[in-house]
Amino acid sequence: MPMKLSDFKVLTFDCYGTLIDWESGISAALAPLRRAANLTLERDALLARFAAHEAALEAETPAMRYSELLAEVHRRLAREFGATLDDAAHVAFGASVPQWPAFEDTPAALQYLKRYYRLVILSNVDRASFAGSNRRLGVSFDAICTAEDIGSYKPDPRNFRYLIGAVDKLGFKSAAILHTAESLYHDHAPAKAAGLATAWIYRRQGKEGFGATRPPKEMPAYDFRFTALGEMARAHEREVER
């Protein structure tokens, strides 16, 4: 029989790019740097430079707190583009995560899904940054796993081992998990390597490139694909109505 959404008991989520519109948030927070450097780069080209620096730093400094890592990403971007900014500007970018907006469909979709699943976060941020974002999401999560807790950043396999352990503490084995995420690089490739089923929330459908994430080395498999979390919630609703 084909796999169904209702086969699973736990939805584990990437947050940024999946639930939170981090590309809009990052772009807004980079506006002072863009002005200081007099940049004429297209939005996606600047996001790609952000992605390159972010991924490199996450690999180089896996224990660095995400707000501090973002500040260092900002310093590197400023050097790359020849912008002169004081340290407060870099720190402000690092502290901008709680201001990044949720996708419009996210809160209602999460509230619906909460009726049927345990909801768990696996995010490449620190707890304080996620707490700011959580206020925009409209639900309480059953477990929150951050890079700060784990000591490494996705796509490191340790993050997915930690996630599976956290879900086990809730009383569910890995077969009950549907990992739900946008990033093929950060989430789908390592989730599949960890043996998890996945749902791709393809927020960038219709756009070229990979935006604020690195491209995957090769296209990973996935089990479901939706263009928004609201679409996934509606698909589940149709299943339970049959």
Active site residues: 14
Rounded Cα distance between 242 and 231, Å, is: 17
Tokens of 98: 């709680």
Question: 228 with 203: CB under 8 angstroms?
Answer: yes
Pairing between strand 197-201 and 143-146? Answer: unpaired
Nearest-5° Cα angle at 86, 82 to 90:
85
Rounded Cα distance between 13 and 119, Å, is: 8
Give 97's contacts (C-beta < 8 A, 6+ positions apart).
16, 25, 66, 67, 70, 125, 129, 130, 132, 133
Rounded Cα distance between 181 and 14, Å, is: 5
Question: 23 with 51: CB under 8 angstroms?
Answer: no
Tokens of 29: 């927070």
φ, ψ (nearest 5 deg) of residue 103: -60, 145
